[in-house]
Copies of this chain bind each other. A is one copy, B any other.
Amino acid sequence: MSKDKLDVVGIGNAIVDVLCKTDDAFLKNNHIHKGTMTLIETDQAKALYAKMGPCIEMSGGSAANTVAAFASMGGKVGYIGKVADDQMGEVFRHDIRSTGVVYDTLPLLKEDVPTSRCLIMITPDAQRTMCTNLGASVFFMPMDLDEKMIKNAQVTYLEGYLFDRAHAKQSFRMAAELAHAAGKKIALTLSDPFCVDRHRDDFLELVRSHVDILFANEAEIMSLYKTDSFPEALPHCELAVITRSEKGSVIISKKETIEIPAEPVAQVVDTTGAGDLYAAGFLYGYTRGKPLAQCGRIASIAAAEIIAQVGARPQRSLSQLLKDKKAA
């Protein structure tokens, strides 16, 4: 696929997920707070992995999940993110390309730094608890930005998680400047309340100066504005899209506030990727000029689909699903 006309380009941590089923006692015994994403060092990751049961490996990464889902809906999309030159990096590259995403970021050539991986523990209540061991993905440099993709994409979608390293922050600002200079939009997902907490001032500055579309859940938006009630935390950008789990979502523009109900799910199996797929659906509608309420509905359908399966990459065609639901 060509880079000449993209709907969206995503920039994020290129990660391989390592998923296993576990129980609450395991999390408690290992002092892991359920439902969160914790950054862990290599030694901690080794020790935790040794205690985990049999796993499956599949490509992950928040923005990468979003672009893979976007491609599955039939959209034209690119990805920028860094893996290592190792087997897990090969898995990541294969999977994202095989969905039709344009991806050609060069792998990191630093022998002792592997592809980033995320240990995901799924409890019987379908919640996912993540421990991420960052590797090659945070060696993301401004020179990895693909100017052509960014200038040609209607929306450049930035993943907050990548903010955990200084070079990546600098890259985000550069990406925002490139996109705006070409008359395009910048979207940002806050990713995680603790990530926001670690980098609040930088996030606030980025949102105020550069972000057109902000994605967040309630905990993240409240963390950003240091408030404990959601409606007080209204960002100053063109669009804010706040997800609220089973309570649905809220889309806030300068003109209106639209409440979107959650799409019903027969059985929630694993909540990994819910926010990522929501963003994919919203951007799919947005880049096709659909009314905001319809963008929200497509988003909710995509999120409902991913929580009914294990893992954050869709196992069936979302394009067909949207047709079946008469949503797009």
A residues at B contact (CB < 8 Å): 21, 49-50, 52-59, 68, 86-88, 91, 94-95, 98-99, 114, 311, 313, 315
Contact A98 B53 (CB under 8 A): yes
- Nearest first, the 5 closest Cβ-Cβ pairs linking A and B are A57-B57, A87-B87, A54-B95, A56-B58, A53-B98
Q: How far is the CB of A66 from chain B (nearest CB, A)?
A: 14
CA distance A57 to B87 in the complex (A): 11
Chain B residues with CB under 8 Å of A91's CB are: 55, 57
Would you give 24 A-B contacts (Cβ < 8 Å), ordered by A?
A49-B94, A50-B94, A52-B94, A52-B98, A53-B98, A53-B99, A54-B58, A54-B94, A54-B95, A54-B98, A54-B313, A55-B58, A55-B94, A55-B95, A55-B98, A56-B56, A56-B58, A57-B57, A57-B58, A57-B91, A86-B86, A86-B87, A87-B87, A87-B88
CA distance A123 to B41 in the complex (A): 40
Please state the number of chain copies in the assembly: 2
Q: How far is the CB of A100 from chain B (nearest CB, A)?
A: 10
Chain B residues with CB under 8 Å of A54's CB are: 58-59, 68, 94-95, 98-99, 313
Q: Please give 15 more A-B residue pairs, beta carbons under 8 A apart, in addition to A49-B94, A56-B56, A87-B114.
A: A21-B315, A52-B94, A52-B98, A53-B99, A54-B94, A54-B95, A54-B98, A54-B99, A55-B58, A55-B95, A57-B57, A57-B58, A57-B91, A86-B87, A87-B87
